[in-house]
Structure 1
């Protein structure tokens, strides 16, 4: 994980700028010995702003930025001159980035549109100059407002991948092999659990130059919703997928049982995931003959489309792509 370019979690200290102080200045010119108060307002402190960028897919560029500090506003001046506002700091983030309070875990907002700008940490307001405080009974106020302090807080940014199809399955179910077979993605493939340690995205070509995006999510194990295995770290990526493709190998002891466990983990993490369209693919089916497939169909879960496939022999991959694309456009 340390040498991976895919970073979907960063934590940093966000400090906005303090507002500038108002000025307690009096107009003093030749022939105008008592010109009255003319102190200007202080400038606003700089904001910390998140901006969506559709060209980014990772938070890698923020990984080593532990402190983000905006500029403070300048003080007001005589002649009702307002102080300069502090310079804002704009952090470019991928679409699907969620901002949270690091201490409470409270979700602040989610950036979903390219070019969308949302203030993460607001700068302090500038103080009012003494010109604002003159009255009929106090025509020469010698005071002005100080600037408002900036805010310092610890922020967590989490990324949820956006894809049309999310691959869901236990470790070593053949998800990476499938993705590499039907797209140009080249994820690491091995015959041992947890080969995939970061999500991989692949663009799947379809008929008539159409395409859709598939995400290979690192394998789920029983108890993942409680933090076991890779746990909650990657379950959040499934939330932004339109279709969930469950992958269970043909040599599983019970396809129905494995599918039920996967479904239970998703439900415990977020019950709304069960509202998404689901398709079940039985991988590694090149070892089966037609008679054995017919026998296994009796043990398949009900209420979900099931397709026997083989990524190695390309068996039924076109049929799978047909089903996925049809589900996407419906």
Structure 2
């Protein structure tokens, strides 16, 4: 399925039904009083977060959503039927904003959350409501209130514990396929991954965690290069970043250049991203020259801790998973103490 992380839709709630103008007409009561019922309420448009949807793909085909109108009131003081609400499912992680003002209306972070995007109009009052001691035969009723109509912008931010970041071809897709059940497309060329992949990592050191393979960043990503801003938004909700570096491509003259470039892009998009905890990992250690490159990186990195693995050869993978689990547990503990 194609991954869609932005969509524009129009939602329209139902209009209320009109009130009824009616008078009792029974045998022997030729001039009965008013008995017009109220109109029914229009249906609401309700958005609901569900894990059954993983992308905004379904909004590619349908962009206008309208709830049912309320029915008109009837004689004998019968209220019209209310219009049915319209439920729109969205993935957990969807942010809903007003397309005109840009104001955020709802941030769906949990399964089952709901948000009334457009409220149905009230039904009009029937003429029974307007009877009084001075006006015994009102021949008018209220029209129903019109429904609301809004244009909404939907954005999807993945909800993952761990985000794997790095330049294209660093081996992110291979790594997530090795440590989780995710099966992303893998190829030895840049931008194999054009959409984020999610995988659940089950292990023996604690609770499973969710990892996101964020598509390769390039220089200028924070200003939109290479779809960078669309990729960077998915990192915002992660708790830990695994910064994957292709050891073979480390520049001998500037071993830290790639590491610093990625962090520059994170800071350029949002300074809080650059401050997120990172686990630096040198990948492809099974290839010729990787050991020499790793030694140069270590000398330049100083006290910066890092790990070495080969995702393709599954070297160091268990240690990496254990380390990630321990870091997440540490972050959970720190967050609990802060509260």
TM-score above 0.5: yes
Look up the match of 1:11: 8
Look up the match of 1:322: 322
Q: 1:106-160: per-residue Cα shift (whole Å, max 9, x none)? A: 3221222222221122222211222333334333322221111123333232222
> C-alpha distance in 1, partners of 2:239/2:302?
21
Q: 1:9-47: per-residue Cα shift (whole Å, max 9, x none)? A: 333332222111112223333344444333221111122
Please, which of 60, 63, 66 is the counterpart of residue 66 of structure 1?
Answer: 63
Q: 1:238-258: per-residue Cα shift (whole Å, max 9, x none)? A: 122221111122222245333
Please, which of 166, 183, 194 is the counterpart of residue 180 of structure 2?
Answer: 183
> C-alpha distance in 1, partners of 2:316/2:64?
51
> C-alpha distance in 2, partners of 1:83/1:7?
40
Look up the match of 1:311: 311
> C-alpha distance in 2, partners of 1:312/1:278?
22
> C-alpha distance in 1, partners of 2:26/2:45?
41
Look up the match of 1:265: 265
Indicate whether 1:296 and 2:297 are aligned. Answer: yes
> C-alpha distance in 1, partners of 2:314/2:278?
21
> C-alpha distance in 1, partners of 2:264/2:134?
73
Between 1:94-103 and 1:208-217, the stretch displaced more is 208-217
* Aligned-CA RMSD value: 2.4
> C-alpha distance in 1, partners of 2:302/2:148?
53
For residue 67 of structure 1, report the CA deviation from its aligned partner: 2.2
Instruction: Call closer, same or farther: CA 1:60–1:161 in 2, change over 3 Å.
Output: same
For residue 295 of structure 1, report the CA deviation from its aligned partner: 4.1
Does the aligned pair in 1 maintain the 2:205–2:325 contact within 8 Å?
A: no
TM-score, structure 1 length as denominator?
0.89
Look up the match of 2:333: none
Does the aligned pair in 1 maintain the 2:239–2:328 contact within 8 Å?
A: yes
Does the aligned pair in 2 maintain the 1:256–1:301 contact within 8 Å?
A: no
> C-alpha distance in 1, partners of 2:13/2:302?
54
For residue 274 of structure 1, report the CA deviation from its aligned partner: 4.1
Look up the match of 2:276: 276
Look up the match of 2:335: none
> C-alpha distance in 1, partners of 2:207/2:289?
31
Look up the match of 1:140: 137
Please, which of 100, 103, 109 is the counterpart of residue 112 of structure 1?
Answer: 109
Indicate whether 1:98 and 2:95 are aligned. Answer: yes
Does the aligned pair in 1 maintain the 2:180–2:201 contact within 8 Å?
A: yes
Please, which of 208, 213, 235 is the counterpart of residue 211 of structure 1?
Answer: 208
Instruction: Call closer, same or farther: CA 1:275–1:147 in 2, change over 3 Å.
Output: farther
Q: Which runs of 5+ in 1 are unaligned?
A: none
Look up the match of 1:154: 151
TM-score, structure 2 length as denominator?
0.86
Instruction: Call closer, same or farther: CA 1:83–1:130 in 2, change over 3 Å.
Output: same
Please, which of 185, 192, 217 is the counterpart of residue 220 of structure 1?
Answer: 217
Q: After superposition, where does 1:232-251 map in structure 2 within 5 Å?
A: 232-250=229-247, 251=249
> C-alpha distance in 2, partners of 1:278/1:192?
25
